[in-house]
């Protein structure tokens, strides 16, 4: 392969040329153009803040919506069905153990009379598969 030396090769002339006497009055032309175009600068701290504050508040509220919904969804309140299922699968807990853990307010809640109509009671007893168990619990 033939060696290539940059110094020995003919130079290609650029297609761009500066006009004659271009740099003689260049600085004066630039300074004249700067004086003509004066831009009014408004400092950032002097701007009206109402629009930016409203936008920031809107974004803040929009970001809080998922957090509030997640907080409500993960509350620690147990529903009755979950509690009843848990207690039914705990074979080492008797009804006497549960009674000992009740306080006065719980007992008052239990003392409220629940009125059931005869038809409702008959429907519950007829559809219950373990009616013998319910009867033996009452005795």
Between CA 43 and CA 30 the distance in angstroms is 26
pLDDT band at 77 (very low <50, low <70, confident <90, very high): low
Between 121 and 59, residue with greater pLDDT? 59
Rg over CA atoms, the chain: 44
Output the average pLDDT for the chain: 78
> Is 87 within 8 Å of 98 (Cβ atoms)?
yes
- Residue 2, pLDDT > 80, answer no
pLDDT band at 73 (very low <50, low <70, confident <90, very high): low
Element (H, E) at 3: none
Tell me what pLDDT residue 1 has.
67
- Residue 134, pLDDT > 90, answer no
Between 99 and 65, residue with greater pLDDT? 65
Between CA 133 and CA 88 the distance in angstroms is 13
CA separation (Å) from 23 to 13, 17, 68, 94? Answer: 21, 12, 68, 103
Tell me what pLDDT residue 35 has.
63
Tell me what pLDDT residue 113 has.
66
């Amino acid at each position: 392969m033939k060696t290539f030396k940059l110094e020995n090769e003919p130079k290609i002339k650029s297609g761009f040329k500066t006009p004659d006497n271009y740099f003689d009055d260049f600085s004066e032309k630039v300074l004249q153009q700067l004086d003509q175009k004066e831009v009014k600068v408004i400092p950032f701290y002097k701007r009206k803040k109402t629009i930016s504050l409203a936008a920031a508040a809107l974004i803040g509220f929009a970001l809080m919506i998922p957090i509030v919904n997640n907080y409500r969804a993960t509350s620690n309140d147990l529903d009755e069905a979950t509690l009843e299922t848990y207690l039914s699968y705990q074979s080492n807990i008797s009804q006497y153990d549960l009674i000992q853990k009740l306080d006065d307010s719980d007992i008052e809640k239990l003392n409220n009379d629940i009125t059931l109509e005869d038809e409702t009671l008959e429907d519950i007893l007829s559809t219950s598969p373990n009616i013998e168990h319910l009867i033996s619990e009452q005795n």
